[in-house]
Amino acid sequence: MKMALELAEQGRGWTSPNPMVGAVIVKDGTVIGKGFHQAAGGPHAEIHALNDAEGKAKGATLYVSLEPCNHTGRTPPCTEAILESGIKRVVAGMRDPDPRVTGSGLGFLESQGVEVSVGVCEDACHRINEAFIKYVTTSCPFVILKCAATLDGCIATGSGDSKWITNPLSRQFVHEVRHAVDAIMVGIGTVLKDDPQLTARLEGREAKDPMRIVLDTNLSIPKKARMLHLSSDSGILIVCGDSAPLEKRKKLEEFGIHFLTLDDEEGQIDLTALVEELGKIGITSLLIEGGSRINGSALRAGIVDKVYMFYAPKIYGGEGIPICAGPGVELMEQSINLEDITVHRFADDVMIEG
């Protein structure tokens, strides 16, 4: 199962809205087939593994990180191919979390005389597909909040300078995350101050750019912004308020921008309504890389599922820009507590994941 999970990881960034899945076929103590889901719309992991086994899977055991499908989507049911191959035993890491289909794949195989078991390395199988699980069970994207700060909690100096707080290894990890998610979101303040590209750039291999989302209540994004002039085909979505000037919108349409208009209260977009709308257009995962206002708003709205908090071994020592802006809680016991915490090192930088 660990081998299947390692295979599944190779599909990260390419399978959405499908899950990442790996499969291994073992016969007489020997691995005879391996495969992983490589892209949405393509063959599933089980099919790749069966093809790799070259017709020798009869009587073998199939280890797969997610319950095999038993329905026809863009590809035929994997359960049929498993039965045709003569596999006698299927071990699944976890059941399919989709409430419409959970249990049907394993149940069907068992009814046809295949020995089945489920729950091997289950926590790891859940972790690798945390975005998929959130989306199929709630119809809303899995939201990650990422920020980089000094040890005294500043994401920028008082003048707004933030390049660079963290080291190149930390920044490369962030590009890995960008490659893995469907969309990345910033506020208009970040666009005006940093003029970011919001693309994924990986050394030595192809990367997938996320859709770029900008919270821009009054459509203040300048026409010269770098993200408007990239060759990336990932698309740009500008979220504006219902009072945004129509003439500004018309001037921006020439860049192929998509717009989403939401009610705004005192210049603030309703983030709960936003993630619901993003789910409706098929966004399964969202990375927030905004400034202190967006960070604070997202946490207060309760839309964040995971945080990546980077801390560099630097002390600003002044009144810099904090990680979160806006009203906080009155008592420390009311603070947001992280669970399932992992600490990572990137050279001298420390990242807390939770």
Q: Which residues are catalytic?
A: 46
Structure tokens, 172: 């490369």
Residue type, 57: A
Decide if 183 contacts 285 (C-beta within 8 A). Answer: yes
Nearest to 48 by CA among 25, 30, 15: 25
Decide if 135 contacts 142 (C-beta within 8 A). Answer: yes
Q: Is the peptide bond before 164 cis (omega within 30 degrees of 0)?
A: yes
Nearest to 78 by CA among 132, 269, 66: 66
State the residue for tokens 């979390």: 97
Measured distance CA(126)–CA(62) in Å, rounded: 19
Measured distance CA(172)–CA(176) in Å, rounded: 6
Decide if 297 contacts 271 (C-beta within 8 A). Answer: yes
Mention every residue, 6+ apart, whose C-beta is less than 8 A from residue 167.
Answer: 312, 346, 347, 348, 349
Go through the chain and tell me how many residues it has: 354
What Rg value do the Cα atoms of the chain yield, rounded? 23
Measured distance CA(214)–CA(252) in Å, rounded: 13
